[in-house]
Amino acid sequence: MPLDYHILDVFTERAYGGNPLAVVLDADKLTTPEMQAIAREFNLSETVFVLKPTSPGHTARVRIFTPSREIPFAGHPTLGAAALLAELRMPAVNGEHDAIIALEEDIGSVRVGIRLRTGAAAFGEFDAPMVPEKVGVMSELEEIAGALGLIPNELGFENHKPMLLKGSSAFAYVPVANLDAMSKVRVTPMHWARAFTDRSVDGVYLYTRQCVRGQSSFHARMFAPDLGIPEDPATGSAAIGFAHVIHEFDDLPDGVHRRTIEQGMEMGRPSAISLVMTVVRGRLETIRIGGHAVRVAEGRLLA
């Protein structure tokens, strides 16, 4: 049976930037192997399949696949799928509409606030569905540098050191000295396996405080070759864990803290992720991820 699909660029206000996402509608009759095959066919960082919700209080159930496997949660598929469903199922009145899209994901229920305005890209934001935990011990700097094609003195800045966090996925957070070092990063498979794969790391999130855009707080790159993602233009799920990195090393005081993360610059797909952190009595209480989404294409799967 033919199935409609849409392509969105997420974490960008302009088409052909951000992180591209495929969303396949009415996918209830597809088997898991069929979903995986379709995700490989699109060959994007993630493909979302929209199904009927199991609870009447939810908008839809969604399943998320990388080219190589299904994952329980990811940021840009959550935001992009919610933006699309808001546009298709809750049309704007007089060009404006605010909606709450409740998605059933393997990680649990995620509620996404969507703002639609005429002539503007949809904007969405959601609270992190789970709190990542600090786990394990990171590799030695020499081993990490070797996996990234860098030398040890190109890693780290100020008091920031590599950290491993596990939430819906396990991310290694690696501070990089500056933009020049960031531009030289190359995955070195032999060293990568020892530094990251053998430690069950799903993705490696590199960040530096030097930025290309004046409004950005951090510049980031994310590599997940073990998930079939050579490099990701924008990674909302990793940004959730990054909030804990910022809180730990930057010693955030109580209150609400806003940061903008730029990503995808080296790929020619500039992205902007809004990160809002609330600290109460010294503890990180809530993490909110936000960004824009643009619908760029639609079509039909025939086989």
Q: Are 24 and 47 in contact (CB under 8 A)?
A: yes
Q: What is the CA radius of gyration of the chain?
A: 19
pLDDT tens-digit map of 244-286: 999 999 999 999 999 999 999 999 999 999 999 999 999 999 9
Sequence-separated (6 or more) residues with CB below 8 Å from residue 200: 170
Reported as a pLDDT band with limits 50, 70 and 90, residue 118 is: confident
Kindly state the tokens that stand for 34. Answer: 């069929």
Exposure string of 159-198, with b = 16+ CB inside 10 Å and e = fewer, is ebbbbbbbbbbbbbbbbbbebebbeebebeeebbeebbee
- CA 45 to chain centroid, in Å, comes to 10
Instruction: Please give the Cα distance from 127 to 67 (Å, whole number).
Output: 26
Mean pLDDT of the chain: 94
Identify the helix (H) or strand (E) that includes residue 147: helix 141-148
Q: Write down the pTM of the prediction.
A: 0.94
Q: Are strands 60-65 and 47-51 parallel, antiparallel or unpaired?
A: antiparallel
Query: Does the pLDDT at position 303 exceed 80?
Result: no
Question: What is the model's pLDDT at position 92?
Answer: 63
Q: What per-residue confidence (pLDDT) applies to 132?
A: 83
Q: CA 219, CA 221: separation in Å to the nearest integer? A: 7
Mean pLDDT of 5-17: 97
pLDDT higher than threshold 90 for residue 65 = yes
54-79 mean pLDDT: 95
Domains and CATH numbers, the chain: 3-127+292-301 (3.10.310.10), 133-288 (3.10.310.10)
Q: Regarding predicted confidence, which is higher, 167 or 292?
A: 292
Q: What is the pLDDT, as a whole number, of residue 23?
A: 98
Split at pLDDT 50, 70, 90, the class of 33 is very high
Is pLDDT of 291 > 90?
yes
pLDDT at position 140, please?
86
Say how many CA atoms lie within 13 Å of 95 toward its Cβ: 5
Mean per-residue pLDDT for 21-33?
A: 98
Q: What mean pLDDT comes out for the span 15-32? A: 97
Can you name the residues that pair with 300 across neighbouring β-strands? 4
DSSP H helix total and E strand total for the chain = 6, 17
What's the pLDDT score for residue 93? 62
For 102-113, what is each residue's pLDDT tens digit? 999 999 999 999
Note the pLDDT tens digit of each residue in 122-146.
Answer: 999 999 988 788 886 687 899 999 9
Give per-residue pLDDT as tens, 79-110: 999 999 999 987 666 667 899 999 999 999 99
Backbone angles phi, psi at 186, to 5 degrees: -140, 135
Catalytic site residue from 13, 34, 41, 46: 46
pLDDT at 91: 65
Quote the pLDDT of residue 135.
82
User: Active-site residue 34, yes or no?
Assistant: no
Average pLDDT of the segment spanning 195-213: 96
| Residue 4 pLDDT greater than 90, yes or no | yes
Q: What is the pLDDT of residues 168-194, one digit of tens each?
A: 889 999 999 999 999 999 999 999 999
Residue 46 has a pLDDT of 96
Please tell me the predicted confidence (pLDDT) of residue 130.
81
